[in-house]
A = this chain, B = another copy of it.
Amino acid sequence: MFDVYEKLKELGLQLPKVPAKGGVYRPSVRFGENLVYISGCGMSCDKPVNGVFGREFKKEEGIEFTKSAMLNVLAVLEAEIGDLNKVKQPVKILTFVASDNKFYDQPYVANGGSQLLVDLFGEDLAPSRSAIGVNVLPGNIPVEIEGIFEIKE
Contacts and interface: CB of A to CB of B under 8 A. Distances in A.
A68 interface: no
Contacts of A37: 91-92, 128, 148
B131 A24 contact: no
A29 B92 contact: yes
Contacts of A44: none
Contact of A23 (B104, B131, B136): B131
Given A22-B107, A92-B37, A104-B140, A27 B135 contact: no
Interface in A100-146: 100-108, 110-111, 114-115, 118, 126-140, 144, 146
A22 B52 CA distance: 21
A136 B33 contact: no
B137 A134 contact: no
B126 A133 contact: no
